[in-house]
Amino acid sequence: MARDRGDSLRHLHLWQLQAVRDALLIASVAGLVWLGYALRAVTVPLLVALLLAYLFEPLVARVSRHPKLTRPMVVGGLLMTVGALVIGVVAVVVPIAVGQTAGLVRDYQQGTFRETAVKLRNYLPESWRDQADGLIDYLPRGAPSASPEHPPEPDVAPQRPVLRAGPTVMDQDRIRAIVREELDQAGVRLEGVRPGGGGSMHWLGVARGGARAAAIVIAGIVQIGFLAFLIPFYFFFFSVWFPSVVRFGRSLIPLANRVPTLELLDKMDAVVAGFVRGRIVISLIMGVMLAVGWKVAGVPYSVVLGVVVGLFCAVPYLGAVGVPVAVGLLAFKELGATGGDPMSWWGIVLWPSLVYGVVQTFEGYVLVPMIAGKATNLDPVTILVVVLAGGSIMGIYGMLLAIPVAACVKILCTEVLLPKIRAWTSGEAADPLPIDRD
């Protein structure tokens, strides 16, 4: 029998071997993934538009049932409505966020954070002040005050000097070398420049550096405009053709396994769609609530912080990283203030934490049951474990994908793998990996 089997193998084509077909399939999938990454300038807008079409499909399908509304009309109206809402939100929120961000950067560059940190140092125990001095040295000093009536604040408490690394006075050669290094990094060349003259090469280098910076800014604006055009363009056609694409995909499933496969895919679709749609809406609501709540609590830069933490809330439990940041910003504002009575330390810790606790409770008892429900059917421990595992493998993208993937794997194990294992252990099914002794 072994001889007959060897003779039959010699007459087989290479692609008729199961191992070769499996290797070719794996290589094809890996090649497609690599090609998609190499062409990410094209594939990213396609994937984003396809995801948006998938997320908005229930709304489009429901509205399209009206006898006077066609699917292209519904998709076009949806694009115009969402575009108007985005423009309105951008017109209201972006100026506030940009203003607060600019204020944050300005305070950092002008040494406001350093002055506040020096004041906060006095509240620390003696054993912690050495570490605080090291951290303070990393903050920029800003411009010193030239007024004799308002001398600059000392870096630390008067009774304890601060050790600063490096020389405090630099000669002119060292200053020229530092300036030349900074300009070289910015793309400005100083060849042909003399100390007493203007130097045409100097202005040529300045012009080149300015042209390069302008080209980078223009390229970024063009790329954003390109995406703003391509994503709605692709979304329109994907959403219009979505039912046809679904029907075509279902027709490719073998007829013998079509019914159970479609049932399994419908369960996965409900899990993924419910989680993704629900988390997007929930994160937006939580971002607004956190921005308003922290604004009432007195946290500076509350709009920027609320928007960022709201984005983090798309992943369950990740929004908690905003609590220590809010407490720290409020401490910098209150304990570093020069006039008036600062807020007590317990209020600085309590009010930002209370705002987040109220928003988190509202999410768990109101938003999740109303919007997402128990779409994933995963317990909190499993969610936390898969989020941490996804973050360790793929960063923030892994954290976003971990929960839907884990929910789909759970459905596969519950609906496919476990029944086969139970049937095999009870003797109702044959060994899935038999050993042929002939």
Question: Closest by alpha carbon to 330, among 304, 288, 301?
Answer: 301
d(Cα 136, Cα 389) in Å, to the nearest integer? 35
d(Cα 302, Cα 345) in Å, to the nearest integer? 19
The answer to whether 103 touches 310, Cβ cutoff 8 Å, is: no
Both tokens of 258, joined, read 């079509």
* Average pLDDT for 141-154: 52
The answer to whether 271 touches 375, Cβ cutoff 8 Å, is: yes
One-letter identity of residue 221: I
d(Cα 207, Cα 203) in Å, to the nearest integer? 6
Rounded to the nearest integer, the mean pLDDT of the chain is 76
pTM: 0.60
Q: Which residue has the higher pLDDT, 287 or 129?
A: 287
CA 100 to chain centre: 21
Please give the share of the chain, as a percent, with pLDDT higher than 90. 4
**What pLDDT, on a 0 to 100 scale, did the predictor assign at position 355?**
92
Both tokens of 78, joined, read 């949806």
Whether the predicted pLDDT of 152 surpasses 80: no
pLDDT in tens, 355-402: 999 998 988 888 877 776 666 677 777 888 888 888 888 776 677 778
Per DSSP, the three-state class of 62 is helix
Contacts of 428 (CB under 8 A, 6+ apart): none
d(Cα 353, Cα 407) in Å, to the nearest integer? 31
Question: Closest by alpha carbon to 304, among 86, 91, 88, 104?
Answer: 104
Whether the predicted pLDDT of 145 surpasses 70: no
Q: Which residue has the higher pLDDT, 344 or 199?
A: 344
Distance (Å) of CA 300 to CA 94, 126, 272: 16, 28, 37
One-letter identity of residue 342: P
**What pLDDT, on a 0 to 100 scale, did the predictor assign at position 159?**
45
pLDDT in tens, 186-226: 555 544 444 444 445 555 665 666 677 777 778 777 777 78
Q: Using CA atoms in the order 204, 205, 206, 211, what is the torsion angle rounded to 10 degrees? A: 90
**What pLDDT, on a 0 to 100 scale, did the predictor assign at position 354?**
92
Q: Using CA atoms in the order 17, 23, 25, 31, what is the torsion angle rounded to 10 degrees? A: -150
Question: Closest by alpha carbon to 319, among 345, 296, 293, 298?
Answer: 293
The position carrying tokens 């807020």 is 343
**What pLDDT, on a 0 to 100 scale, did the predictor assign at position 359?**
92
* Average pLDDT for 350-356: 91
Whether the predicted pLDDT of 148 surpasses 50: no
**What pLDDT, on a 0 to 100 scale, did the predictor assign at position 201?**
55
**What pLDDT, on a 0 to 100 scale, did the predictor assign at position 358?**
92
d(Cα 282, Cα 53) in Å, to the nearest integer? 19
The answer to whether 291 touches 389, Cβ cutoff 8 Å, is: no
DSSP code for 363? I
Q: Which residue has the higher pLDDT, 332 or 59?
A: 59
Contacts of 121 (CB under 8 A, 6+ apart): 129, 132, 133, 136, 156, 157
* Average pLDDT for 46-63: 86
Whether the predicted pLDDT of 51 surpasses 60: yes
Contacts of 388 (CB under 8 A, 6+ apart): none
Contacts of 140 (CB under 8 A, 6+ apart): 108, 109, 110, 111, 114
Both tokens of 183, joined, read 């300009």
